[in-house]
Amino acid sequence: MGEWRHFSHGADIGVEGRGETPSEAFEQAALALTAVVTDPAKLRDEVSVPIRCRAPDLELLLFEWLNSVVYEMATGRRLFGGFRVRITDGELAGEARGEAVDVARHSPAVEVKGATFTELAVGRDDDGRWFARCVLDV
């Protein structure tokens, strides 16, 4: 079972996902991204958006993945409360599920401008679990 957390960055905010696999850590990192804007548990499962990206290493792939989620949020005026990720050979095939922004119900706190390279890291902890983290510019 994966989990996510936020960590402090002076002006902005860091997101971290953890899980048994890189894919699960990426899913959780995206949930942490949503939680910067609103409570993911409030979001309805009304729309599914496929996301594909590719990068030469896992850290760049996390950068691409989170920025693809930011792009879909911004251009579709949507928020996502569920993610699925499958990573094979440097390619990510994912899905983001959620609904259109409803300001009254979601009370969105802030817009995410982008995922950054600051504190960007993907790896395994001593307990063997995967983590995926970076700072977001908000």
Residues interacting with other proteins, by CB under 8 A?
6, 8-13, 37, 56, 60, 63-64, 67, 70-71, 74-75, 77, 100-101, 103, 106-111, 113-118, 120, 135, 137-138
Collect all residues with Cβ–Cβ distance below 8 Å to 112 and sequence separation of at least 6. Answer: 33, 36, 37, 70, 73, 136, 137, 138
In whole angstroms, the minimum distance from the beta carbon of 42 to other proteins comes to 12
Q: Is 5 or 129 the residue whose CB approaches other proteins more closely?
A: 5
Q: Is 115 or 132 the residue whose CB approaches other proteins more closely?
A: 115
Per DSSP, the residues of 3-37 read EEEEEE-SSSEEEEEEESSHHHHHHHHHHHHHHHH
Q: Is 76 or 82 the residue whose CB approaches other proteins more closely?
A: 76
φ, ψ (nearest 5 deg) of residue 109: -75, -45
In whole angstroms, the minimum distance from the beta carbon of 128 to other proteins comes to 26
